[in-house]
Structure 1
Amino acid sequence: MNPSTILFLCDDNAACSLMAEAIVNAAGARHLKAFSAGFEPAKVADPHAMEIIAQAGIRARGLRPKPLTEFAGPPPVKFCYAINLATRSRPELAGLAGETCLLHWPVADRPFGAGFGASRKAELLDLFAEIRQLCESMFLRPARTSAQKQTIHRVLDRSESRRSELTVEEHC
């Protein structure tokens, strides 16, 4: 059985999408294969994000910011899912449409350091927990029907007012 492929995208591919890639690859080794990319990738990964991944007992070796074009081929990598973690939709996602299910999980939409005394590492730790919860509910827990997955999206959206709407941009 070939694993389902998932591409996590964010603006710089320095923290959030790398965390999602690591979480899925650590937990879904046989049936899932995750990748990540950035719309405008950073030169290096965020050291706090790499530390949080390692502290969770997940291998961070090999994780690095990459451009979306790295997966263009030849041959191009075919993804079952492409998940945008950035706050806004991006025109680059149009190139992934077709057989790829496009999802939008806008977790990276809050400014770092906005909380009272909040450090970047503390906020990344919160993001890590949020991303892990989303990955587990969508991909890592026992199989769910498509209707159940849609319900998860709606419940998460209603229960967390600070999060923007989780949307499915193409039918899955």
Structure 2
Amino acid sequence: MEEKVYNVLFLCTGNAVRSIMAEALVATMGNGRFRGFSAGSHPAGSVDPLALEQIRPTGYPLDQLRSKSWDEFAEPGAPEMDFIFTVCDDAAGEACPYWPGHPITAHWDVEDPAAATGTEEHRRAAYHQAFHQIRARMGIFVSLPLHMLEKNAIHQHVTDIGRAAA
């Protein structure tokens, strides 16, 4: 029997840093079991270069990453999502579009590294910390035996992942 490939959408306000990192990480860490997508409520229009710097070592094709509106995923013909995670408090508090298929949702807040000030080294460290936090959560998520769990148990697991300190 062929294993199901899960579609996972990561939401943030600008879709330039955290949701982009998560999109790349779920795809690269998921061993073909997950397809990652990302979007924003108010997309920045471009991907942050310091985010790309963190993603580059994963081998994810950087040219596939773009800042886009979450409305793209609510349109007819869009991929149906199995999971939707917000990775910033602002997006978690906004009224989201209707998502067909009743995906499992959870909030995985990650501090915005783009808000870091100070030296270039300090700013890069903030991006590295955010990337590390997302990667740690992703490691737990992609190792869940999703095919063996019922929907309520999966929802509880993904919610717990977002509450855990990285």
Q: Same fold (TM over 0.5)?
A: yes
Cα offsets for 1:21-49 (capped at 9, x unmatched): 00111122422111000110012100010
Q: Distance in 2 between matches of 1:155 and 1:77?
A: 24
Matches within 5 A, 1:85-164: 85-88=87-90, 89-93=92-96, 95-96=98-99, 99-108=102-111, 112-113=115-116, 119-138=122-141, 140-143=142-145, 145=149, 147=153, 150=156, 153-154=159-160, 157=163, 160=165
Q: Distance in 1 between matches of 2:46 and 2:157?
A: 37
Q: Secondary structure at the match of 2:140?
A: helix
Q: Distance in 2 between matches of 1:153 and 1:15?
A: 21
| Contact preservation (8 Å) 1:17, 1:85 | yes
TM-score (structure 1 length as normaliser): 0.76
* Greater Cα shift, 16-25 or 103-112: 103-112
Q: Secondary structure at the match of 2:116?
A: coil
Are residues 1:8 and 2:10 paired? Answer: yes
Aligned length: 159
Q: Evaluate the alpha carbon distance shift between residue 136 and residue 155 of structure 1 in structure 2; reply closer, same or farther with a 3 A threshold.
A: closer
Q: Evaluate the alpha carbon distance shift between residue 98 and residue 152 of structure 1 in structure 2; reply closer, same or farther with a 3 A threshold.
A: closer
Q: Distance in 1 between matches of 2:154 and 2:79?
A: 28
* Seq. identity, %: 28
Structure 1 position 16, deviation (Å)? 0.5
Cα offsets for 1:107-164 (capped at 9, x unmatched): 13577326898622210110001001111111x225164648736754873x63xx8x
Q: Evaluate the alpha carbon distance shift between residue 112 and residue 95 of structure 1 in structure 2; reply closer, same or farther with a 3 A threshold.
A: same
* Greater Cα shift, 128-137 or 103-112: 103-112
Which residue of the partner structure matches residue 166 of structure 1? none
Higher normalized helix content (fraction of residues)? 2
Q: 1:90 is matched by which residue type in structure 2? A: G
User: RMSD of aligned C-alpha atoms?
Assistant: 3.0
- Structure 1 alignment gaps of length 5 or more: 164-172
Cα offsets for 1:43-94 (capped at 9, x unmatched): 2100010011003443322101010111233223311111011114234325
TM-score (structure 2 length as normaliser): 0.79
Q: Distance in 2 between matches of 1:50 and 1:110?
A: 13
- Structure 2 alignment gaps of length 5 or more: none
Q: Distance in 1 between matches of 2:100 and 2:74?
A: 13
Q: Distance in 1 between matches of 2:161 and 2:8?
A: 22
Q: Distance in 2 between matches of 1:113 and 1:43?
A: 20
Q: Secondary structure at the match of 2:54?
A: helix
Q: Evaluate the alpha carbon distance shift between residue 78 and residue 92 of structure 1 in structure 2; reply closer, same or farther with a 3 A threshold.
A: farther
Q: Secondary structure at the match of 1:102?
A: strand
| Contact preservation (8 Å) 2:109, 2:162 | no
